A and B are shown apart, each in its own frame.
Chain A
Amino acid sequence: MKKIMKSWKVLVGTAFAMIVSFSAGADTKLGALYPFSGGLALLGDESYRGVEIAVAERNASGGLRGEKIVLVKADAVDAGQAVGAARKLTSVEGVRAVFGSYSSSISFAATQVTELAGIPYFELGAVSDSITDRDMKYVFRSNPTAKKFAAGTVRTVIDVVAPALGVNASDLKVAIIHEDALYGTTVAEFQKIFAKEKGLNVVEVLPYSAKSVDLSSLVLRLKGAGAEVILQTSYQNDTVLFFRQIRDADYRPKALIGAGGGYSMQDTAKVVGTENIEGVLDVDFPQFEMKDAGAPGIQAFRKMYKARYGTEPRSGHSLMNYAGARIFLDAMEQAESLDADAIRTAVMKLDVPVGMTAAGIGAKFDSRGQNQRAEAAIMQWQDGVLKTVYPASAAVADPKFP
């Protein structure tokens, strides 16, 4: 009797499992691995919105290869959780690919797992160069890297600031300050190299903790060194603190150049005050004030975003993730199948010129999976808005200096 009961249970169980897998078979599952809680949640969520819009748009126009895409959200606050989240996506949820992840350390950990599982990982926002320097077969990245950010800040000193001030770039006293974790350190290392190559006069390099509650001693050091141009790589709190404390110390450098992070956030401008951020330069993912011709679809994206979430985009992270997700969804559409190798072949075949996506980037991937046609944009805060000022093809405004 017991045996019969047992085989019944097995039978019912199998039937149930089959029904579940059948009904799931009609959809294509894709993972979205981002920090949705914890300290990185704001930009993690903002990045995710870009993917969400790209997927909704694709579903509305018939889905991926005729099937509806289901995005499976996975929350990873840090590298430890990223491993668990990636495992769950690849082994339990059975996703065909994973989009992520805003934070470099999260991306690092998650890609190890997906690579072993043979699932493609599409990085749309993390900037650490080493993510694509590890020769992983199924890791691809659409966005510009930290190295491009650093190159952009140095280019800003030479091509934007020095001409505007009417001096030689090498005569300016440049200081590099940065938060001392992976993001700030990586950008600053490249800044030092590029600054040396271009013959800039770097007078101070000062790392600090992003959790500092007081940066007044750092400000005094900068003031003491007579730094005229400051390159800062920072998150939001430290950007705000720095702005407040240079004002308290009555210190007015000739130019402030941020490398993304806190410098790109609309909130930062609100918190430090429009008048205090006026004229500040920023090198980052392209934001929204860009020539439509150089970024087709940017205004349409903005409208979709507003319709869906009821607010203006909080930063360009959503835009960059949207453009990246579209690039990879196109590749998956064109691939022979959704096998990892077929997807890789399709990604490698992509050939989108610069200026043909909503974020202005193009798509051409090198053998390590890094997009060669993604540059950081150079922008300036003018009248409370971050406007693209360089290069001229994307610029909506001229750089202004008092």
Chain B
Amino acid sequence: MEIFIQLVLNGLLLGGTLAIISVGLTLIFGIVRVVNFAHGEFLMIAMYGIYLLNQYVGLHPYIAMLPMLILMFAVGAVMQRFIIQPLLDADDHIQIFATVGMSIALMNAALMIFGADVFAVDNPSEVGVGSLSVGPFRVNIGQLITFTVSLLLIGGLNWFLASTFLGRAVRATAQHRTAALLMGVNVNSIYMFAFGLGAACLGLAGGLMAPQYPVFPTIGTFFVLTAFVIVVLGGLGSLHGAFLGAMIIGVVDSLAGYYIAPDLKEVVYFLIFLCILILRPTGLFGAGRGSE
């Protein structure tokens, strides 16, 4: 029983990291209706950014996160403005090609600039590293912080979308872009804002992950496939769905890795993923076909 609880704990904590990455992805999809295949590479950029700020400015990753949030917002907004926006009315597959192309270009750009070397932030012994003993259980401090931040992020975004004027404009755009346009919402600006917001989540993720994971050009690909599974599982575009999906995948990852076999854990969560898609094609919290 002790092992089981420890496994669930590990899974939930891993879910915290996955949730932040997935929330960014689902925001972009839910509002701009573009599947951003370069999401993993955005994460990679954020992690390099955190590393550089840590190395050359001496900032702790949790502090470096704040400038990185703004920078990543800019990266997302610029990508939306210059790459996605001209293609908004094109076929879906053209948008897919564009974001996949971005992903490959960014990965190789990182390879050219930084080489394939593995980097990690300095002084990891300060904050966010190490583990706590809680009775017989052990909890990684960095992951615990990440988990808490992911809860705050979901809460904050929900409040923002529900209670602010800008948030309502964002929701209106997501529901029906033409109607929003007719109501005087500047749809293109909202799209830029949403894309920026989605990318900014990765600035947050990058800072929180820095004490746990090293950074190298392909680190994004390690997380992005899981993030896609989570987002589809939770229902494309749903924040709650992304959070719940991340928790489910985290726990399944942890339990399957122990009780079945470490190399089969992906198989297990892809099976669960398939079952949910068959039973509920829109995912757990999917908006269904009703919206645009």
Chain A positions near chain B (C-beta within 8 angstroms): 37-43, 45, 177, 180, 206-209, 211-218, 220-221, 224, 236-237, 240-241, 244, 247-250, 265, 267-268, 270-271, 273, 314
User: Do A217 and B116 touch across chains, with their CB atoms under 8 A apart?
Assistant: no
Other-chain residue from A214, A224, A314 in contact with B117 (beta carbon distance below 8 A): A314
Q: Is B255 an interface residue (CB 8 A)?
A: yes
Q: What's the Cα separation between A211 and B265 when bound, in Å?
A: 12
Give the chain B neighbours of A248 by CB distance below 8 A: 130-131, 138, 140
Q: Is B261 an interface residue (CB 8 A)?
A: yes
User: Do A267 and B117 touch across chains, with their CB atoms under 8 A apart?
Assistant: yes
User: Do B119 and A271 touch across chains, with their CB atoms under 8 A apart?
Assistant: yes
Q: What's the Cα separation between A325 and B263 when bound, in Å?
A: 37
User: Do B10 and A216 touch across chains, with their CB atoms under 8 A apart?
Assistant: yes
Q: What's the Cα separation between A239 and B14 when bound, in Å?
A: 18
Q: In the complex, which residue of chain B has the Cβ closest to the Cβ of A275?
A: B125
Give the chain A neighbours of B116 by CB distance below 8 A: 39-43, 45
Q: What's the Cα separation between A122 and B115 when bound, in Å?
A: 26
Give the chain A neighbours of B228 by CB distance below 8 A: none
Q: What's the Cα separation between A244 and B209 when bound, in Å?
A: 13
What are 21 A-B residue pairs whose CB atoms fall within 8 Å in the complex?
A: A37-B111, A39-B116, A40-B116, A42-B117, A208-B263, A211-B221, A213-B14, A213-B213, A213-B222, A213-B223, A214-B254, A215-B257, A216-B254, A217-B255, A217-B257, A217-B258, A240-B213, A250-B133, A267-B118, A271-B214, A273-B124
Give the chain A neighbours of B226 by CB distance below 8 A: 213
Which residues of chain B in 197-220 are interfacial with respect to chain A, using CB atoms and an 8 Å cutoff? 212-214, 216-219
User: Do A268 and B266 touch across chains, with their CB atoms under 8 A apart?
Assistant: no
Q: What's the Cα separation between A244 and B124 when bound, in Å?
A: 11
Q: In the complex, which residue of chain A has the Cβ closest to the Cβ of B219?
A: A237
Give the chain A neighbours of B10 by CB distance below 8 A: 214, 216-217, 220
Q: Is B3 an interface residue (CB 8 A)?
A: yes
Known: A45-B116, A214-B14, A221-B258. A207 touches B222 (CB 8 A): no
Other-chain residue from A39, A180, A208, A220 in contact with B7 (beta carbon distance below 8 A): A220
Q: What's the Cα separation between A271 and B124 when bound, in Å?
A: 10
Q: What's the Cα separation between A270 and B222 when bound, in Å?
A: 21
What number of A-B contacts does a CB cutoff of 8 Å give?
116
Q: In the complex, which residue of chain A has the Cβ closest to the Cβ of B257?
A: A217
Mask of B249-263 contacts with A, CB within 8 angstroms, 1/0: 010011111100111
Q: Is B120 an interface residue (CB 8 A)?
A: yes
Give the chain A neighbours of B131 by CB distance below 8 A: 247-250
Q: What's the Cα separation between A273 and B118 when bound, in Å?
A: 13
Other-chain residue from B130, B138, B222, B262 in contact with A237 (beta carbon distance below 8 A): B222
User: Do B212 and A244 touch across chains, with their CB atoms under 8 A apart?
Assistant: yes
User: Do A39 and B138 touch across chains, with their CB atoms under 8 A apart?
Assistant: no
Give the chain B neighbours of A206 by CB distance below 8 A: 261-263
User: Do B222 and A217 touch across chains, with their CB atoms under 8 A apart?
Assistant: no
Q: Is B188 an interface residue (CB 8 A)?
A: no
User: Do A209 and B266 touch across chains, with their CB atoms under 8 A apart?
Assistant: yes
Q: What's the Cα separation between A39 and B116 when bound, in Å?
A: 7
Known: A217-B254, A217-B255. A250 touches B138 (CB 8 A): yes
User: Do A41 and B111 touch across chains, with their CB atoms under 8 A apart?
Assistant: yes
Q: Is B108 an interface residue (CB 8 A)?
A: yes
* Size of B's binding interface in residues, CB under 8 A: 43
User: Do B263 and A249 touch across chains, with their CB atoms under 8 A apart?
Assistant: no
User: Do B253 and A207 touch across chains, with their CB atoms under 8 A apart?
Assistant: no
Give the chain A neighbours of B262 by CB distance below 8 A: 177, 206-209, 212, 215, 217-218, 221
User: Do B261 and A207 touch across chains, with their CB atoms under 8 A apart?
Assistant: yes
Give the chain A neighbours of B140 by CB distance below 8 A: 248
Give the chain A neighbours of B111 by CB distance below 8 A: 37-38, 41
The B interface, classified by DSSP as helix, strand, loop or mixed, is helix
Give the chain A neighbours of B175 by CB distance below 8 A: none
Tell me, rounded to whole Å, the shortest Cβ–Cβ distance linking B140 to chain A: 5
Q: In the complex, which residue of chain A has the Cβ closest to the Cβ of B131?
A: A248
Q: What's the Cα separation between A224 and B3 when bound, in Å?
A: 9
Give the chain B neighbours of A241 by CB distance below 8 A: 213
Give the chain A neighbours of B85 by CB distance below 8 A: none
Q: Is B282 an interface residue (CB 8 A)?
A: no
Q: What's the Cα separation between A40 and B14 when bound, in Å?
A: 27
Known: A45-B116, A209-B266. A214 touches B257 (CB 8 A): yes
Other-chain residue from A41, A180, A265, A270 in contact with B120 (beta carbon distance below 8 A): A270
Give the chain A neighbours of B212 by CB distance below 8 A: 244
Mask of B132-161 contacts with A, CB within 8 angstroms, 1/0: 010000101000000000000000000000
Tell me, rounded to whole Å, the shortest Cβ–Cβ distance linking B132 to chain A: 10
Extra contacts, 8 of them, besides A208-B263, A213-B226, A216-B254 (Cβ < 8 A), are A177-B262, A206-B262, A207-B261, A217-B262, A220-B7, A221-B262, A271-B120, A273-B124
Give the chain A neighbours of B217 by CB distance below 8 A: 39, 41
Q: What's the Cα separation between A42 and B213 when bound, in Å?
A: 18
Q: What's the Cα separation between A180 and B262 when bound, in Å?
A: 10
Most chain B beta-carbon neighbours within 10 Å: one of A45, A214, A273, A314: A214
Closest 9 CB pairs between A and B? A217-B257, A42-B116, A208-B262, A217-B258, A271-B120, A41-B116, A207-B263, A180-B263, A216-B10
Give the chain B neighbours of A268 by CB distance below 8 A: 118
Tell me, rounded to whole Å, the shortest Cβ–Cβ distance linking A193 to chain B: 20
Most chain B beta-carbon neighbours within 10 Å: one of A41, A45, A224, A240: A41
Tell me, rounded to whole Å, the shortest Cβ–Cβ distance linking B58 to chain A: 17
Q: What's the Cα separation between A99 and B17 when bound, in Å?
A: 43
Q: What's the Cα separation between A39 and B108 when bound, in Å?
A: 10
Q: What's the Cα separation between A217 and B219 when bound, in Å?
A: 21
User: Do B118 and A237 touch across chains, with their CB atoms under 8 A apart?
Assistant: yes
Tell me, rounded to whole Å, the shortest Cβ–Cβ distance linking A88 to chain B: 20
Q: In the complex, which residue of chain B has the Cβ closest to the Cβ of A212?
A: B262
Give the chain A neighbours of B218 by CB distance below 8 A: 38-39
Q: In the complex, which residue of chain A has the Cβ closest to the Cβ of B262?
A: A208
Q: What's the Cα separation between A306 and B214 when bound, in Å?
A: 26
Q: What's the Cα separation between A314 and B115 when bound, in Å?
A: 12
Give the chain B neighbours of A220 by CB distance below 8 A: 3, 6-7, 10, 258
Q: What's the Cα separation between A353 and B206 when bound, in Å?
A: 52
Give the chain B neighbours of A249 by CB distance below 8 A: 131, 138
Q: What's the Cα separation between A215 and B118 when bound, in Å?
A: 19
Mask of B1-31 contacts with A, CB within 8 angstroms, 1/0: 0010011001000100100000000000000
